Chains A and B, each alone.
Chain A
Amino acid sequence: MEIEHLFSVEGKVALITGASRGIGKMIASQLQENGAKVYIASHPMDEEENIQTAKELQCHSLTVDVTNVDSIKQLVRDLEE
Chain B
Amino acid sequence: MKIKELFDIQGKRFFITGGHTGVGRMIAEGIVQNGGSVSICGRRSALVQKTSQDLLCTGFTADITTDEGIKRCVDIVGDIDVLINCAGTSFAGQFDEYSEYDWDKTIGINLTAPFLLTQAFLPHLKGTKEQPAVIINIGSTEAVVAAGGSAYGYNASKAALMHMPFKLQENLAKQYINWNTLNLGPFDTELLSFLDQSPDNDNSHIKEHNPQKRIGTKNEVIGPIIYLSSKAGQYIKGRTIEVSGGITAYLGNYMTKGNYLDWHTKQWMRIESRTYPYKWKRAKPEDPKGLFDIGKDDLCLCNSNKKYKHCHGEHLWK
Contacts and interface: CB of A to CB of B under 8 A. Distances in A.
A8 B4 CA distance: 9
A1 B3 contact: no
- Nearest first, the 8 closest Cβ-Cβ pairs linking A and B are A3-B7, A7-B3, A1-B219, A34-B3, A7-B7, A3-B34, A4-B4, A6-B223
B35 to A, nearest CB: 9
A3 B4 contact: yes
B2 A33 contact: yes
Interface residues of A, number: 11
A6 B1 contact: no
B219 A6 contact: yes
A30 B7 contact: no
B30 interface: yes
A30 B3 CA distance: 9
**How big is chain B's contact interface, by range?**
10 to 19
B222 A8 contact: no
B298 interface: no
B226 interface: yes
A2 interface: yes
A1 B7 contact: no
B79 interface: no
Given A3-B4, A4-B4, 9 more contacts: A1-B30, A3-B34, A6-B219, A6-B223, A7-B7, A7-B223, A8-B3, A33-B1, A33-B2
A27 to B, nearest CB: 12
Interface string A1-38: 11110111100000000000000000000100110000
A9 B3 CA distance: 9
A2 B3 CA distance: 11
Contacts of A34: 2-3
